[in-house]
Amino acid sequence: MKGGLVLDIDEFLSDCMSALSETEPRTAVKQLLERTVSDPEGVARALPPERAELVPLHASDEMTVLKVIWAPGMVIPPHNHLMWAAIGLYGGQEDNTFYRRSGAQVQESGGKELRTGEVALLGDDVIHSVANPLSVFTGAIHVYGGNLTARTDRSEWDMETLEEMPADFARTQRYFEEMNAAQSRSSTGT
Ligand SMILES: [Fe+2]
């Protein structure tokens, strides 16, 4: 980032690719994200957190980078990624609840609250649900060590029954769009 004013997305993505070729790619990506979200305003100018969004900025076999904007109060059910992930927050708060498998279901096994400027590294086998506990949008950059958008063997677990089912990136994206529709209905009082 130059001048600390607006994050240069192309430069950030090429820095991510360089980080992947280092000896410890996860650590290198985490450190890059930490440097990036240490100027949260600069990231927000480039990736405005104004509506719920799950947008790939990059997706290849090596890496996926997502702009993730959580609507106020939004919750997504437990899911796995089957690849490591680094999550950097540049606005709001992202509450992670972790789970472990228990037969066809999952059981809660802890949590982590991520706040603006913080970065979390998640291992390949993590199962988590995510909630935005605030009444403002939460902005995050998620980096994954593989192609999250194309992987078809991932799972999610029903929020109520905690039963396992196939995860689907496109369905999750539609859920983000539904949040926007719900938000505009409630703001117009219809
Ligand atoms: Fe996730």
Q: Which pLDDT tens digits describe the chain residue by residue (190 residues)?
A: 445 689 999 999 999 999 999 999 999 999 999 999 999 999 999 999 999 999 999 999 999 999 999 999 999 999 999 999 999 999 999 999 999 999 889 999 999 999 999 999 999 999 999 999 999 999 999 999 999 999 999 999 999 999 999 999 999 999 999 999 988 888 776 5
Question: How far does the centroid of ligand 1 lie from the alpha carbon of residue 22, in Å?
Answer: 24
Question: How far does the centroid of ligand 1 lie from the alpha carbon of residue 190, in Å?
Answer: 32
0.85 surpassed by pTM: yes
Spatial separation of the C-alpha atoms in residues 135 and 183, rounded to whole Å: 12
pLDDT of res. 1: 46
Which amino acid is present at 64? T
Question: How far does the centroid of ligand 1 lie from the alpha carbon of residue 24, in Å?
Answer: 21
Short-list 151, 152, 82, CA closest to 123 = 82
Spatial separation of the C-alpha atoms in residues 74 and 54, rounded to whole Å: 13
Spatial separation of the C-alpha atoms in residues 36 and 165, rounded to whole Å: 35
Question: How far does the centroid of ligand 1 lie from the alpha carbon of residue 70, in Å?
Answer: 12
Spatial separation of the C-alpha atoms in residues 153 and 140, rounded to whole Å: 25
Q: What is the dihedral of CA 162, 114, 57, 1, to 10 degrees?
A: -170
